[in-house]
Amino acid sequence: MIGIYFSGTGNTKYCLEKFVALYDRNIDITPLEDTGTMEKVTYHKDIIFAYPIYYSNLPKIVRDFICENSDVWKGKRIFIIATMGLFSGDGAGVSARLFERYGAQVWGGLHLKMPDCICDVKALKRTPAQNKQIVIQAEERIKSAVYNLKNGTPTKDGLGFLCHIAGLLGQRLWFYRKTQEYSDKIQIDTNACIKCGKCAVVCPMNNLSLSEDKMIADGRCTLCYRCVNQCSKKAITILGEQVIFQHSVSDYH
């Protein structure tokens, strides 16, 4: 078995690590953007696949990863973990339908509410105490899902027809275009930016680079918010106009 994840500011990685620690500590986990990930996948039949949900849909980078490696999934058995800020309906189902199209068996699905990672809009902003409680509740759900999986009754969050309808009506129909293409909405405040290059290092899309003594974006943002969350000068925004706060899941322990 292998764990594969995409994680913006760390929530999804944290959840997968907790799941694996309880299920089998010997399971290797790897980010999907690493160049050697697909080679590792070929050696494993069982996969735990984890990602965040944006607008009740898959991040563009996750969808591309599944579709561009379509010939690899046949015969695989996949358990899906979807993290979200509030409610997605079929957060696990959006990838499950793709995996099944390519011949995989979807083993189960788990939905985990986590602290919101979007740092430049006010939606879903909560106090540290509220976020800590959200993380505690997610950990309890992980424990329960691992217990179920070990006992042959895997959790099935987001995999049914009604979940699919809920996902469509929740956000996906209204914001479908947000995740169908990579975004060019990154704004970099040249007065605040110190050109340290950290944003370019953490970007999974290699979308950011230093050119002519300034940071530039190439229009291939997958909305993961790593750059916004980790910019020490709060010089980067995507949807909002200013960074409201920056945090990681480790702040709530």
Q: Give the count of domains, the chain.
A: 2
250 found inside a domain = no
* In-domain check, residue 35: yes
56-60, 120-124, 180-184, 190-194: which range is least confident on average? 120-124
215-241 per-position pLDDT tens digit: 889 899 999 999 999 999 999 999 898
> Cα separation of 212 and 44, whole Å?
45
The CATH number of residue 151's host domain is 3.40.50.360
Give the range of the structural domain holding residue 154, as residue numbers without chain letter: 2-178
Q: Please tell me whether residues 87 and 151 are part of one structural domain.
A: yes
CB-CB neighbours of 180 under 10 Å: 11
Same structural domain, 36 and 156: yes
| Shared-domain flag, residues 136 and 238 | no
Q: Could you tell me if 19 and 148 are in contact, meaning their C-beta atoms sit under 8 angstroms apart? A: no
Same domain, 172 and 206: no
Residue 106 and residue 165 in one domain: yes
* pTM listed for this prediction: 0.94
Q: How confident is the model at residue 177 (pLDDT cuts 50, 70, 90)?
A: confident
Q: How far apart are CA 244 and CA 119, in angstroms?
A: 6
Tell me: pLDDT of 85 over 90: no
For residues 127 and 231, membership in a common domain is answered with no
**What residues contact residue 198 under an 8 Å CB cut-off, 6+ apart?**
230, 231, 232
Both 30 and 105 in a single domain? Answer: yes
Q: Which helix (H) or strand (E) is 229 found in, with range? A: helix 226-230
Whether 89 maps to a domain, the answer reads yes
Same domain, 11 and 110: yes
At residue 170 the predicted structure's pLDDT band, cuts being 50, 70 and 90, is confident
Q: Please indicate, yes or no, whether residues 44 and 118 belong to a single structural domain of this protein.
A: yes
- 218 occurs within a structural domain: yes
Q: Decide which of 162, 178, 194 is a domain's last residue.
A: 178
For residues 99 and 18, state if they share a domain: yes
